[in-house]
Structure 1
Amino acid sequence: MWRLNVRRMYLNNVFDVGKFFVNRRFNIQHGELLLLQLVKKDDPRHLGRIRGIMESDGVVEDEHDESVELYGRKWKYAILASRSIRLQPRDWFDLDDIIGINARKYYTQVEAMRLEHDDALAVERRLARYLKHIKQ
């Protein structure tokens, strides 16, 4: 499981297009779960930064400048999603809610970050009712 930092202004496109653009080629494997986490400044009311889940379908180069077409800026790679799910507002959460103080290690400016195994299991338990739609 990975945490992806996303700006609020890009979030709907990430769901609609099924792609998340990054500048570094992360070792994200097909089928891995990706948590869409708003950057801190985009959640000033602390409503919960985790807003959705995607299932990875791989990482490819943005050879045709699709990121420029969508966002007006260039990223090197696209993380593809085979499925994505928007969380209902009542289910938005922060990693602190699940993992506690250890969640701080995931609050960095890095675009994508892999969650440690035990932390990922705790998040999966929280998202169980959503994950049954992904893991069919």
Structure 2
Amino acid sequence: MSLTHTAVTADLEPCGKEDHPDCGIRDVLDRIGDTWSVLVVVELASGDRRFRELQRAIDGISQRMLTLTLRRLERDGLVDRTVYPTVPAQVSYALTSSGAGLSHLIKTLADWSLEQRPVIAASRSAYDAAHPGHRIR
């Protein structure tokens, strides 16, 4: 998903029209389906983290992208942000109950992925052998 796509969908709200039943699903999947949100939720599943701890734990995420991801997850009610009155101010992030529920779903998906990896690899090999020269990856 490109940054442009994320920026466009970040402001969308479910329309609630009966003839558009998937718009609410799309809105949620756009948020939790991006790489950074999933990785933040996975990191927070093991407990509260400060910003720098998250940034060090998530390889390749920039400060700006981590900030945006945390704000979006907080806006969606998946992450709580706590500011402690210290100098300098300390901020920690934790999963809400909704975020914890999502982390269980992500773990289930990860477990399924590991279990199915040999089957998927075999299927890809068979497809590649049957379709030489294709560009699907």
After TM superposition, the score normalised by the length of structure 2 is: 0.25
With a CA cutoff of 8 Å and minimum separation of 6, indicate the structure with the bigger relative contact order: 1
Kindly indicate which of the two structures has a greater share of residues assigned to strand: 1
After TM superposition, the score normalised by the length of structure 1 is: 0.25
Larger Rg: 2
